[in-house]
Amino acid sequence: MKHIKVIGSINMDIILSSARLPVTGETIKADKYYMYPGGKGANQAVAVARTGVRPQLIGKLGNDYFAEMITTYLKKENIDLSLTYGDKTGIAMINVESSGKNMITVYPGSNGSMAYDDFHDINIKNSIVMFQQEIPLKTIRDFISNIAGNGNMIITDPSPFNEDRYILENTDILTPNENEAQLLAGCNIKNVEDAKKASRIILEKYKSNVIIKLGDNGSLINYEGNIKYFKPYKVGTVDTTGAGDCFNGAFASEFLRTESIDKSMEFANIAGALSTTGYGAFPSFPYRNQIISIMEE
Ligand code: RIB
Protein backbone atom coordinates (compact mmCIF):
# COMPACT_ATOMS: atom_id res chain seq x y z
CA MET A 1 0.00 0.00 0.00
CA LYS A 2 1.19 3.45 -0.93
CA HIS A 3 -1.33 6.02 0.32
CA ILE A 4 -3.59 6.83 3.27
CA LYS A 5 -7.06 8.24 2.59
CA VAL A 6 -9.20 9.43 5.50
CA ILE A 7 -12.88 9.72 4.65
CA GLY A 8 -14.87 11.42 7.38
CA SER A 9 -16.01 14.29 9.52
CA ILE A 10 -14.50 17.71 10.07
CA ASN A 11 -15.73 19.90 12.94
CA MET A 12 -14.86 23.02 14.83
CA ASP A 13 -14.37 21.93 18.46
CA ILE A 14 -15.31 24.38 21.20
CA ILE A 15 -13.71 23.16 24.42
CA LEU A 16 -14.66 24.32 27.93
CA SER A 17 -12.54 23.06 30.81
CA SER A 18 -13.90 23.07 34.38
CA ALA A 19 -13.13 21.33 37.70
CA ARG A 20 -15.99 18.90 37.07
CA LEU A 21 -18.65 18.28 34.45
CA PRO A 22 -22.05 19.98 34.89
CA VAL A 23 -25.12 17.91 35.73
CA THR A 24 -28.51 18.36 34.05
CA GLY A 25 -29.96 21.82 34.70
CA GLU A 26 -26.77 23.16 36.28
CA THR A 27 -24.67 26.15 35.20
CA ILE A 28 -21.01 26.03 36.17
CA LYS A 29 -18.01 28.23 35.48
CA ALA A 30 -15.32 27.10 33.04
CA ASP A 31 -11.71 27.99 33.85
CA LYS A 32 -10.32 27.59 30.31
CA TYR A 33 -11.72 27.91 26.79
CA TYR A 34 -10.22 26.76 23.47
CA MET A 35 -11.37 26.52 19.87
CA TYR A 36 -9.61 24.07 17.54
CA PRO A 37 -10.56 22.07 14.46
CA GLY A 38 -11.61 18.49 15.23
CA GLY A 39 -13.99 15.83 14.00
CA LYS A 40 -12.92 12.21 13.94
CA GLY A 41 -11.94 12.32 10.25
CA ALA A 42 -9.83 15.48 10.51
CA ASN A 43 -8.24 14.25 13.75
CA GLN A 44 -7.21 10.95 12.18
CA ALA A 45 -5.74 12.79 9.18
CA VAL A 46 -3.68 15.07 11.46
CA ALA A 47 -2.40 12.05 13.39
CA VAL A 48 -1.33 10.41 10.12
CA ALA A 49 0.42 13.59 8.95
CA ARG A 50 2.23 14.21 12.25
CA THR A 51 3.50 10.66 12.30
CA GLY A 52 5.09 11.07 8.92
CA VAL A 53 2.73 10.21 6.04
CA ARG A 54 0.89 12.85 3.96
CA PRO A 55 -2.76 11.70 3.90
CA GLN A 56 -5.66 12.74 1.73
CA LEU A 57 -8.67 13.94 3.77
CA ILE A 58 -12.00 13.59 2.00
CA GLY A 59 -14.76 15.54 3.74
CA LYS A 60 -17.36 18.30 3.68
CA LEU A 61 -17.25 21.75 5.29
CA GLY A 62 -19.80 24.57 5.44
CA ASN A 63 -19.71 27.92 3.67
CA ASP A 64 -18.73 29.87 6.74
CA TYR A 65 -15.94 31.40 8.79
CA PHE A 66 -15.20 28.10 10.58
CA ALA A 67 -14.52 26.43 7.22
CA GLU A 68 -11.85 29.05 6.40
CA MET A 69 -10.16 28.64 9.79
CA ILE A 70 -10.20 24.85 9.58
CA THR A 71 -8.80 24.85 6.04
CA THR A 72 -5.89 27.06 7.09
CA TYR A 73 -5.09 24.76 10.05
CA LEU A 74 -5.28 21.55 8.02
CA LYS A 75 -3.10 22.90 5.18
CA LYS A 76 -0.43 23.78 7.76
CA GLU A 77 -0.52 20.13 8.88
CA ASN A 78 0.48 19.03 5.35
CA ILE A 79 -2.78 17.26 4.52
CA ASP A 80 -4.02 16.90 0.94
CA LEU A 81 -7.60 18.20 1.15
CA SER A 82 -10.48 16.99 -1.07
CA LEU A 83 -13.47 18.96 0.14
CA THR A 84 -16.99 19.82 -0.86
CA TYR A 85 -19.10 22.52 0.78
CA GLY A 86 -22.57 22.64 2.30
CA ASP A 87 -24.35 25.16 4.48
CA LYS A 88 -22.78 25.00 7.96
CA THR A 89 -19.57 23.45 9.25
CA GLY A 90 -20.00 20.75 11.93
CA ILE A 91 -19.54 21.88 15.53
CA ALA A 92 -18.62 19.91 18.66
CA MET A 93 -19.22 21.35 22.13
CA ILE A 94 -16.77 19.61 24.46
CA ASN A 95 -16.87 19.87 28.26
CA VAL A 96 -13.73 18.56 29.97
CA GLU A 97 -13.20 18.08 33.71
CA SER A 98 -9.90 18.07 35.57
CA SER A 99 -9.74 14.23 35.63
CA GLY A 100 -9.59 14.34 31.78
CA LYS A 101 -13.11 12.92 31.29
CA ASN A 102 -15.33 14.71 28.81
CA MET A 103 -18.86 15.08 27.42
CA ILE A 104 -19.31 15.91 23.72
CA THR A 105 -22.35 17.14 21.77
CA VAL A 106 -21.87 17.21 18.00
CA TYR A 107 -23.92 19.18 15.46
CA PRO A 108 -23.04 17.40 12.18
CA GLY A 109 -23.72 20.33 9.83
CA SER A 110 -22.28 19.57 6.38
CA ASN A 111 -20.82 16.24 7.56
CA GLY A 112 -24.41 15.00 7.69
CA SER A 113 -24.98 15.53 3.97
CA MET A 114 -21.61 14.25 2.68
CA ALA A 115 -22.31 11.90 -0.26
CA TYR A 116 -20.20 9.43 -2.25
CA ASP A 117 -21.42 10.92 -5.56
CA ASP A 118 -19.59 14.19 -4.80
CA PHE A 119 -16.27 12.31 -4.73
CA HIS A 120 -16.74 9.35 -7.09
CA ASP A 121 -14.01 10.58 -9.43
CA ILE A 122 -11.36 10.28 -6.68
CA ASN A 123 -9.04 7.38 -7.40
CA ILE A 124 -8.74 5.08 -4.37
CA LYS A 125 -6.41 2.13 -4.82
CA ASN A 126 -3.40 0.62 -3.03
CA SER A 127 -4.40 2.65 0.02
CA ILE A 128 -5.18 2.34 3.68
CA VAL A 129 -8.69 3.83 3.78
CA MET A 130 -9.90 5.08 7.15
CA PHE A 131 -13.55 5.57 8.12
CA GLN A 132 -15.33 6.65 11.29
CA GLN A 133 -19.12 6.97 11.68
CA GLU A 134 -19.73 10.72 11.85
CA ILE A 135 -20.81 10.92 8.20
CA PRO A 136 -23.92 9.15 6.82
CA LEU A 137 -23.60 5.35 7.00
CA LYS A 138 -24.92 5.11 3.42
CA THR A 139 -21.99 7.26 2.26
CA ILE A 140 -19.56 4.87 3.97
CA ARG A 141 -21.32 1.86 2.42
CA ASP A 142 -21.17 3.49 -1.04
CA PHE A 143 -17.46 4.23 -0.68
CA ILE A 144 -16.73 0.70 0.54
CA SER A 145 -18.68 -0.99 -2.24
CA ASN A 146 -16.89 1.11 -4.85
CA ILE A 147 -13.35 0.76 -3.53
CA ALA A 148 -13.37 -2.86 -2.33
CA GLY A 149 -10.47 -4.80 -3.78
CA ASN A 150 -8.12 -2.43 -5.66
CA GLY A 151 -5.41 -3.29 -3.11
CA ASN A 152 -7.12 -1.24 -0.39
CA MET A 153 -7.11 -1.99 3.34
CA ILE A 154 -10.16 -0.61 5.17
CA ILE A 155 -9.94 0.49 8.81
CA THR A 156 -13.23 1.51 10.41
CA ASP A 157 -13.73 3.16 13.78
CA PRO A 158 -17.35 2.26 14.68
CA SER A 159 -17.76 5.56 16.51
CA PRO A 160 -20.29 7.03 17.17
CA PHE A 161 -21.62 3.52 17.66
CA ASN A 162 -23.92 2.10 15.04
CA GLU A 163 -24.12 -1.55 14.15
CA ASP A 164 -24.15 -1.39 10.36
CA ARG A 165 -23.46 -4.99 9.35
CA TYR A 166 -22.37 -4.14 5.81
CA ILE A 167 -19.69 -1.74 7.11
CA LEU A 168 -18.60 -4.04 9.93
CA GLU A 169 -18.35 -7.09 7.67
CA ASN A 170 -16.51 -5.30 4.88
CA THR A 171 -13.78 -3.79 7.03
CA ASP A 172 -10.29 -5.26 7.37
CA ILE A 173 -9.69 -3.87 10.88
CA LEU A 174 -12.38 -2.55 13.24
CA THR A 175 -11.14 -0.24 16.00
CA PRO A 176 -13.80 0.05 18.74
CA ASN A 177 -13.11 1.48 22.16
CA GLU A 178 -14.13 -0.55 25.20
CA ASN A 179 -17.80 0.56 25.15
CA GLU A 180 -18.18 -0.03 21.44
CA ALA A 181 -16.50 -3.43 21.75
CA GLN A 182 -19.01 -4.40 24.46
CA LEU A 183 -21.88 -3.43 22.17
CA LEU A 184 -20.41 -5.27 19.17
CA ALA A 185 -19.63 -8.42 21.15
CA GLY A 186 -22.68 -8.33 23.42
CA CYS A 187 -20.62 -8.96 26.57
CA ASN A 188 -19.17 -6.92 29.42
CA ILE A 189 -15.51 -5.94 29.44
CA LYS A 190 -14.12 -5.56 32.96
CA ASN A 191 -10.52 -6.64 32.34
CA VAL A 192 -8.05 -7.63 29.62
CA GLU A 193 -9.28 -11.26 29.56
CA ASP A 194 -12.85 -10.01 28.89
CA ALA A 195 -11.49 -7.81 26.09
CA LYS A 196 -9.72 -10.81 24.53
CA LYS A 197 -12.98 -12.76 24.67
CA ALA A 198 -14.87 -9.82 23.10
CA SER A 199 -12.29 -9.64 20.29
CA ARG A 200 -12.87 -13.34 19.50
CA ILE A 201 -16.64 -12.80 19.35
CA ILE A 202 -16.24 -9.74 17.08
CA LEU A 203 -13.89 -11.57 14.70
CA GLU A 204 -16.26 -14.53 14.54
CA LYS A 205 -19.40 -12.39 14.16
CA TYR A 206 -18.22 -9.86 11.55
CA LYS A 207 -15.23 -11.71 10.03
CA SER A 208 -13.15 -8.57 10.64
CA ASN A 209 -9.89 -8.21 12.53
CA VAL A 210 -10.23 -6.00 15.58
CA ILE A 211 -8.22 -3.58 17.69
CA ILE A 212 -9.85 -2.76 21.04
CA LYS A 213 -8.75 0.57 22.51
CA LEU A 214 -8.96 0.22 26.29
CA GLY A 215 -8.08 3.82 27.25
CA ASP A 216 -5.78 3.91 30.27
CA ASN A 217 -5.70 0.10 30.26
CA GLY A 218 -3.81 -0.09 26.94
CA SER A 219 -5.03 -1.82 23.79
CA LEU A 220 -5.19 -5.19 22.10
CA ILE A 221 -5.39 -6.60 18.63
CA ASN A 222 -6.96 -9.79 17.35
CA TYR A 223 -5.54 -10.26 13.85
CA GLU A 224 -6.65 -13.44 12.13
CA GLY A 225 -7.06 -15.10 15.53
CA ASN A 226 -3.69 -14.02 16.96
CA ILE A 227 -4.32 -11.88 20.01
CA LYS A 228 -1.73 -9.53 21.46
CA TYR A 229 -2.20 -7.14 24.39
CA PHE A 230 -0.25 -3.87 24.75
CA LYS A 231 0.17 -2.37 28.21
CA PRO A 232 -0.71 1.32 28.67
CA TYR A 233 2.01 3.94 28.35
CA LYS A 234 1.53 5.97 31.54
CA VAL A 235 1.23 9.76 31.20
CA GLY A 236 -0.36 12.65 33.11
CA THR A 237 -3.76 12.85 31.41
CA VAL A 238 -5.40 16.26 31.00
CA ASP A 239 -7.99 15.65 28.24
CA THR A 240 -8.81 12.39 26.44
CA THR A 241 -10.60 14.06 23.49
CA GLY A 242 -9.38 12.57 20.21
CA ALA A 243 -7.11 9.94 21.81
CA GLY A 244 -8.78 7.15 19.83
CA ASP A 245 -8.44 9.16 16.61
CA CYS A 246 -4.75 9.73 17.31
CA PHE A 247 -4.29 5.99 17.92
CA ASN A 248 -5.91 5.15 14.57
CA GLY A 249 -3.90 7.69 12.59
CA ALA A 250 -0.63 6.62 14.17
CA PHE A 251 -1.41 2.93 13.60
CA ALA A 252 -2.17 3.51 9.91
CA SER A 253 0.95 5.57 9.19
CA GLU A 254 3.27 3.13 10.97
CA PHE A 255 1.61 0.17 9.25
CA LEU A 256 2.04 1.85 5.85
CA ARG A 257 5.75 2.19 6.62
CA THR A 258 6.51 -1.12 8.30
CA GLU A 259 3.65 -3.54 7.47
CA SER A 260 4.26 -4.80 11.01
CA ILE A 261 1.16 -5.18 13.16
CA ASP A 262 3.19 -5.38 16.39
CA LYS A 263 5.32 -2.29 15.71
CA SER A 264 2.27 -0.33 14.58
CA MET A 265 0.33 -1.28 17.72
CA GLU A 266 3.20 -0.30 20.01
CA PHE A 267 3.59 3.00 18.13
CA ALA A 268 -0.16 3.78 18.23
CA ASN A 269 -0.47 2.82 21.90
CA ILE A 270 2.15 5.44 22.82
CA ALA A 271 0.72 8.04 20.41
CA GLY A 272 -2.78 7.71 21.88
CA ALA A 273 -1.45 8.12 25.42
CA LEU A 274 0.64 11.19 24.54
CA SER A 275 -2.39 12.83 22.92
CA THR A 276 -4.12 13.01 26.32
CA THR A 277 -1.45 15.24 27.85
CA GLY A 278 -2.87 18.50 26.43
CA TYR A 279 -6.26 20.11 25.80
CA GLY A 280 -8.27 19.59 22.63
CA ALA A 281 -7.91 16.86 20.06
CA PHE A 282 -5.07 17.40 17.60
CA PRO A 283 -3.11 20.26 19.26
CA SER A 284 -1.75 17.58 21.60
CA PHE A 285 -1.13 14.87 18.97
CA PRO A 286 2.55 13.79 18.98
CA TYR A 287 5.04 13.83 16.12
CA ARG A 288 6.83 10.67 14.95
CA ASN A 289 10.19 11.50 16.56
CA GLN A 290 8.57 11.85 20.02
CA ILE A 291 7.03 8.39 19.73
CA ILE A 292 10.17 6.77 18.33
CA SER A 293 12.34 8.18 21.10
CA ILE A 294 9.99 6.64 23.71
CA MET A 295 10.03 3.29 21.87
CA GLU A 296 13.83 3.34 21.90
CA GLU A 297 14.10 4.07 25.66
O1 RIB B 1 -13.10 11.96 18.65
C2 RIB B 1 -13.06 13.29 19.06
C3 RIB B 1 -13.89 14.16 18.16
O4 RIB B 1 -15.25 13.82 18.33
C5 RIB B 1 -13.82 15.64 18.47
O6 RIB B 1 -12.76 16.28 17.81
C7 RIB B 1 -15.19 16.14 18.08
O8 RIB B 1 -15.20 16.95 16.94
C9 RIB B 1 -16.05 14.88 17.89
O10 RIB B 1 -16.30 14.64 16.58
Q: Which atom of ligand 1 is nearest to the CA of 282?
A: 6
Task: Tell me what pLDDT residue 228 has.
Answer: 98
Choice from 6, 12, 13 to test ligand 1 binding pocket (greatest atom count within 8 A of CB): 13
Q: Which residues of 84-114 are buried (b: 16+ CB within 10 A; e: fewer)?
A: eebebbbbbebbbbeebebeeebebbbbbeb
Domains in the chain, ordered, with CATH?
3-285 (3.40.1190.20)
Q: Which atom of ligand 1 is nearest to the CA of 245?
A: 1
CA dist., res. 279 & res. 33, Å (int): 10
Q: How far is CA 151 from CA 1, 2, 124, 275, in A?
A: 7, 10, 9, 31
Q: Using a 6 Å cutoff on CB, does residue 43 contact ligand 1? A: yes
Task: Tell me what pLDDT residue 99 has.
Answer: 86
Q: Which atom of ligand 1 is nearest to the CA of 94?
A: 7
CA dist., res. 222 & res. 158, Å (int): 16
The residue nearest atom 1 of ligand 1, judged by CA position, is 242
Task: Tell me what pLDDT residue 220 has.
Answer: 98
Q: Using a 6 Å cutoff on CB, does residue 37 contact ligand 1? A: no
CA of 173 to the centre of ligand 1 (A): 21
Q: Single out the residue of 266, 251, 288, 269 nearest to residue 52, CA to CA.
A: 288
List phi, psi (to 5°) of 166. -60, -45
The residue nearest atom 2 of ligand 1, judged by CA position, is 242
User: Ramachandran region of residue 126, left (φ > 0), alpha (ψ -120 to 50) or beta?
Assistant: left
Determine the longest span between alpha carbons in the chain, in angstroms: 53
Q: How far is CA 259 from CA 1, 132, 153, 253, in A?
A: 9, 22, 12, 10
Task: Tell me what pLDDT residue 204 has.
Answer: 98
Task: Tell me what pLDDT residue 40 has.
Answer: 98
Q: DSSP letter string over 64-107?
A: SHHHHHHHHHHHHTT-EEEEEE-SS-EEEEEEEETTS-EEEEEE
Q: Using a 6 Å cutoff on CB, does residue 40 contact ligand 1? A: yes
Q: Which atom of ligand 1 is nearest to the CA of 241?
A: 2
Q: Using a 6 Å cutoff on CB, does residue 95 contact ligand 1? A: no
- Respond yes or no: is residue 80 known to be catalytic: no
Per-residue pLDDT of the chain (297 residues; tens, 9 = 90+): 799 999 999 999 999 999 999 999 999 999 999 999 999 999 999 999 999 999 999 999 999 999 999 999 999 999 999 999 999 999 999 999 988 788 999 999 999 999 999 998 998 999 999 999 999 999 999 999 999 888 999 999 999 999 999 999 999 999 999 999 999 999 999 999 999 999 999 999 999 999 999 999 999 999 999 999 999 999 998 889 999 999 999 999 999 999 999 999 999 999 999 999 998 888 899 999 999 999 998
